Amino acid sequence: MTHVVRLEQVTVKRQNNLLIDQIDWTVDRDQNWAIVGRNGAGKTTLLKLLTGYIWPSKGSVTVLGETLGKVELSELRKKIGWISAALLSELEQSSASSNVLDVVCSGYFASFGLWKEVPTHIRIQAFDLLEQMGISSLAQRNFSVLSQGQKQGVMLARAWLSNPELLILDEPCAGLDVPAREALLQSLSAISQQKDAPTMLYVTHHIEEILPSFQYIALLDQGKLVAQGLLAEILTGATLSKLWHLSVDVLWRENRPFLIPVPTGQKI
Ligand SMILES: Nc1ncnc2c1ncn2[C@@H]1O[C@H](COP(=O)(O)OP(=O)(O)OP(=O)(O)O)[C@@H](O)[C@H]1O
């Protein structure tokens, strides 16, 4: 079986700091992973490694069967959808005067802005996706005037349209209120249930965002992968308390985890 992601003994060192420390990690096609760790743990660095925006100091990185260093990155990136604060700020700069439908359609070309004629069937597909997400009324609105939650939804539709094999979500619900968060998660859940759904990697600080379709988790601490495997086994009060140096418990409802700080709030 071709692995979607395979990291072997990967280390990233910058100015004597170990950003990533000897990580071994394999993601298979039918696995969706949550990635959790404290601020500065190395989560975004790990994601940037997968798309070739950061180069390892040691070790090998293979993504969608291609070893980085031996592949044309622009071709590889066309197969990867990415939602992050960095992408949002790129879109805000490049698409300030574009309407929402055009921003979604730019996902088809993996470009910022539209430089080519969009085929009619792609426009229809883009509109259908917006409709499926309940935001088609925004289609003709200028992207720059959207609220944070609306922009996040448009980014997801843009990534969805590009039909990626790997979908990377770096804190996609940051700054969203609860209804906007749940709407975005519902769309994500719909994507995960499609035939040929992409493999998803989801970075978050909020475990209640981890949907039942995410069955695996990687815990990062100071650049090290300190735990990885099945969510049900790893996501416990004990492991999170150790990771965060804070007493917490995990409560499960409807197959979703919720964080409960232990009342004393004592540091462990
Ligand atoms: N080019 C660089 N040179 C030196 N240090 C860097 C560089 N890029 C990132 N770092 C450091 O690497 C560490 C990991 O950063 P990263 O952005 O991956 O963390 P994160 O887990 O995504 O954090 P957050 O949850 O706050 O977004 C941080 O301490 C950061 O300051």
Gap from CA of 86 to ligand 1 centroid (Å): 14
3-state secondary structure of 137: helix
pLDDT value, residue 264: 66
Tell me the mean pLDDT in the region 207-220.
96
3-state secondary structure of 18: strand
pLDDT value, residue 175: 86
Q: For the stretch 5-19, what's the b/e string if a residue is b when 16 or more beta carbons lie within 10 angstroms of its beta carbon?
A: bbbeebebeeeeeeb
pLDDT value, residue 109: 76
> Is 90 exceeded by the pLDDT of residue 29?
yes
Q: Is 193 in the pocket of ligand 1 (CB under 6 A)?
A: no
Q: Is 41 in the pocket of ligand 1 (CB under 6 A)?
A: yes
Phi, psi of 34 (to 5 degrees): -95, 145
Q: Is 40 in the pocket of ligand 1 (CB under 6 A)?
A: yes
Q: How confident is the model at residue 253 (pLDDT cuts 50, 70, 90)?
A: very high
Per the CB < 8 A criterion, the answer to whether 56 and 74 are in contact is: no
| 263: CB partners within 8 A, 6+ apart | none
Tell me the mean pLDDT in the region 38-62.
93
For residues 119 and 227, the model is more confident at: 227
The predicted model scores a pTM of 0.91
Max mean pLDDT among 4-13, 117-126, 168-177 falls in 4-13
Chain segment 76-90, per-residue pLDDT in tens: 888 999 998 888 888
Chain segment 112-166, per-residue pLDDT in tens: 777 778 889 999 999 999 998 889 999 999 999 998 889 989 999 999 988 899 9
> Is 70 exceeded by the pLDDT of residue 9?
yes
Gap from CA of 223 to ligand 1 centroid (Å): 9
| Helix%, strand%, coil% for the chain, nearest 5 | 35, 30, 35
How far apart, in whole angstroms, are the C-alpha atoms of residue 36 and residue 18? 18
Chain segment 177-188, per-residue pLDDT in tens: 999 899 999 999
Gap from CA of 39 to ligand 1 centroid (Å): 8
Mean pLDDT computed over every residue of the chain: 91
Q: What is each CA distance from 21 to 9, 81, 101, 228, in whole angstroms?
A: 8, 26, 42, 15
Q: Lay out the sheet containing 224-230: strands in order across.
A: 80-83, 166-170, 199-203, 33-37, 216-221, 224-230
pLDDT value, residue 108: 84
Q: Is 43 in the pocket of ligand 1 (CB under 6 A)?
A: yes
Residue nearest atom 28 of ligand 1, based on CA coordinates: 40
Nearest atom of ligand 1 to the alpha carbon of 220: 21
Q: How confident is the model at residue 247 (pLDDT cuts 50, 70, 90)?
A: very high
> Is 70 exceeded by the pLDDT of residue 1?
no
Residue nearest atom 27 of ligand 1, based on CA coordinates: 39
The Cβ of residue 47 has, within 10 Å, a number of other Cβ atoms equal to 21
Q: Is 48 in the pocket of ligand 1 (CB under 6 A)?
A: no
Share of the chain above pLDDT 70, in %: 98
Burial class (CB within 10 angstroms; exposed 0-12, middle 13-18, buried 19+) of 190: middle
